[in-house]
């Protein structure tokens, strides 16, 4: 079977690419997904991620290698195994990142990726309820829902406490002022039946009726096929059957920060020594494939409350039933929004040039299950948690194939806390939480700090708590970084793989540096901008073909 474009991965980026590339009707597009369709009810409910968080049917459930600086713990790294990818199983927080994040992309040699360049693509995504403004778009496909009216009342106490502690309030962290305490925005809109709005539902589903768009699920891509240095197709399997698909124009990898570099390596693109170790023939030496991996590490402080929290609403079976009925009848209540409701961006020290810490204040406190069969459950008391992660860690990890077999998960090495900056910020964030929690408004609703507890006060003890309790916040990126040098990057500023023809990468793996916040929004932005680049290049190629035909 032959198509103009073959897209590998039906995640947040792949769904947008499929829609945009097939929109004109001029190009045939094939979309390949290893997981199944997003037909379950839980993909529509905002808190459905609690059901998919440890579900191997919809989640690859990867783990990192033992992390030396985190007491040799293996960190859980969930990845979407379903149409919609991680956008179908995440907590839906909509954060673009800070403008300097993208200006740093451009300063690294990636012309056209500064904040002024990417802002129009963020605006193109959005159906913002307050209309078209300098910072927002109202005509896009992703409905943005400010949680201000739906957030638990205790979140207002957090906002007040943060201001008492000397920190600003910002009404819109995706607008002119990103620094300060806020109520987060969601990729959901209660006015539209309180449903999750992933790029799969908003971009891909409406496009499925097009005759020039084909989606194949439960397909395992084994490698990219090449003719010399040109990508010409995909070799895959489904239920033991060998499949081959040919691409007339391009193969586009959108399998994410773990599986895109894995597929590159299995296809003979990567570090020469690594490929030789696993008996893979070298197609193009690209030593940066799988390098530059970044992630946000987060740690939670737990508190027993003197007031009712979501723990009280969702702890018992009766409470769960009541919340479920409220959602079914009115599409409102705690099931209609995320548990990550308030927080913001803060400077851990006034000497910092930009906010370097992100906070989440959750009106629900829960522990990450130790068993893969367990679900997220509230703590057995009225409680809440306040957690933080450094926004721009400088530690760098890697993704490496474990063998030459596609069924073997790649080795994920986050390499956490391996720089002085990251160590310093782990302590900074802990002190920031304590400073905010000392505010009179928050003291009034706090019975006690459950963990780490009042006896953990020294820098060394706070760092030890971070080493023992922190985990990935599932923002893996950067493993096929964009840059001008093939020795240190994988794609150029037009997302074309260095040294290859007909092969691009369009997903979070191309981030040169991690953005300050949740990654879903910038990943969708990359897809919108990437689609424009692909179509622009197609128009140039078509014009050249016509000129050549006229000459002959």
Residues labelled catalytic = 475
Nearest-Å Rg of the Cα atoms of the chain is 23
The token pair at 446 is 């706090």
Dihedral-angle region of residue 68 (phi above 0 means left; psi in -120 to 50 means alpha; beta otherwise):
alpha
The token pair at 320 is 């769960």
Are β-strands 383-390 and 297-305 bridged in parallel, bridged antiparallel, or unpaired? antiparallel
**Tally of CB atoms within 10 A around 509:** 33
**Tally of CB atoms within 10 A around 26:** 13
The token pair at 253 is 């990898």
**Which phi and psi (to 5°) does residue 264 adopt?**
-60, -45
CA separation for the pair 403, 400 (Å, rounded): 9
Handedness of CA 439, 443, 445, 451 (dihedral sign): positive
Distance of CA 164 to the CA centre of its chain: 32
The token pair at 248 is 């007339």
Residue of 255, 267, 301 lying closest to 15 (CA atoms): 255
CA separation for the pair 30, 32 (Å, rounded): 7
**Which phi and psi (to 5°) does residue 253 adopt?**
-90, 125
Dihedral-angle region of residue 135 (phi above 0 means left; psi in -120 to 50 means alpha; beta otherwise):
alpha
Q: Looking at the chain, how many residues does it have?
A: 552
Q: Are 330 and 40 in contact (CB under 8 A)?
A: no
Residue of 131, 74, 94, 106 lying closest to 12 (CA atoms): 94
Report the interhelical angle of 12-22 vs 520-551 (nearest 10°): 30
**Tally of CB atoms within 10 A around 191:** 10
CA separation for the pair 5, 17 (Å, rounded): 10
Location of structure tokens 């607008």: 175
Q: Can you give the three-state secondary structure of 214-270, one letter per residue?
A: EEECCCEEEEEEEECCEEEEEEEEECCEEEEEEEEEEEEECCHHHHHHHHHHHCCEE
Stretch (H or E) spanning 426:
helix 420-437
């Amino acid at each position: 079977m032959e198509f103009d474009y073959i897209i590998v991965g039906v995640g947040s980026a792949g769904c947008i690419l499929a829609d945009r590339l097939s929109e004109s009707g001029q190009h045939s597009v094939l979309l390949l997904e290893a997981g199944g369709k997003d037909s379950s009810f839980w993909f529509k409910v905002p808190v459905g991620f609690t059901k998919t968080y440890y579900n191997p049917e919809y989640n690859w459930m990867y783990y990192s290698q033992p992390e030396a600086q985190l007491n040799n713990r293996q960190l859980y790294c969930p990845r979407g195994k379903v149409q919609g990818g991680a956008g179908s199983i995440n907590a839906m927080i909509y954060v673009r990142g800070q403008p300097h994040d993208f200006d740093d992309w451009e300063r690294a040699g990636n012309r056209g990726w500064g904040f002024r360049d990417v802002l129009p693509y963020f605006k193109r995504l959005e159906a913002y309820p307050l209309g078209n403004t300098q910072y927002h778009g109202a005509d896009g496909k992703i409905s943005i829902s400010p949680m201000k009216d739906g957030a638990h009342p205790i979140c207002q106490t957090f906002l007040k406490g943060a201001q008492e502690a000397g920190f600003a309030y910002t009404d819109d962290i995706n607008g002119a002022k990103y620094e300060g305490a806020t109520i987060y925005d969601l990729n959901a809109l209660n006015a539209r039946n309180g449903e999750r709005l992933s790029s799969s539902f908003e971009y891909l589903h409406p496009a499925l009726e097009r005759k020039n768009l084909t989606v194949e699920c439960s397909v395992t891509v084994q490698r990219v096929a090449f003719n010399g240095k040109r990508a010409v197709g995909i070799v895959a399997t489904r239920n033991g059957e060998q499949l081959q698909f040919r691409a007339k124009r391009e193969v586009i990898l959108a399998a994410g920060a773990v599986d895109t570099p894995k597929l590159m390596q299995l296809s003979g693109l990567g570090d020469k020594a690594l490929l030789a170790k696993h008996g893979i023939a070298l197609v193009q030496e690209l030593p940066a494939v799988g390098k530059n991996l970044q992630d946000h590490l987060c740690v939670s402080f737990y508190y027993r409350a003197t007031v009712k929290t979501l723990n009280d609403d969702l702890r018992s079976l009766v409470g769960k039933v009541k919340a479920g009925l409220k959602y079914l009848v009115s599409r409102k209540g705690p099931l209609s929004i995320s548990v990550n409701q308030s927080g913001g961006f803060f400077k851990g020290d006034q000497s910092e040039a930009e906010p370097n810490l992100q906070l989440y204040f959750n009106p629900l406190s829960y522990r990450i299950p130790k068993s893969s069969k367990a679900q997220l459950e509230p703590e057995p008391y009225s409680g809440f948690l306040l957690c933080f992660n450094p926004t721009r860690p400088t530690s760098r990890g890697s993704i490496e194939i474990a063998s030459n077999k596609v069924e073997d998960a790649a080795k994920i090495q986050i390499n956490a806390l391996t720089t002085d900056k990251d160590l310093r910020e782990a302590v900074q964030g802990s002190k920031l939480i304590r400073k905010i929690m000392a505010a009179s408004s928050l003291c009034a609703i706090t019975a006690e700090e459950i963990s780490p507890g009042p006896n953990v006060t020294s820098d060394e003890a706070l760092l030890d708590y971070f080493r023992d309790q922190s985990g990935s916040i599932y923002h893996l990126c950067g493993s096929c970084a964009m840059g001008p040098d093939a020795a240190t990057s994988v794609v150029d500023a037009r997302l074309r793989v260095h040294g290859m023809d007909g092969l691009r990468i369009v997903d979070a793996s191309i981030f040169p540096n991690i953005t300050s916040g949740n990654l879903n929004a910038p990943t969708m932005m990359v897809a919108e901008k990437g689609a424009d680049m692909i179509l622009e290049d197609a128009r140039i190629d078509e014009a050249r073909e016509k000129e050549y035909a006229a000459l002959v």
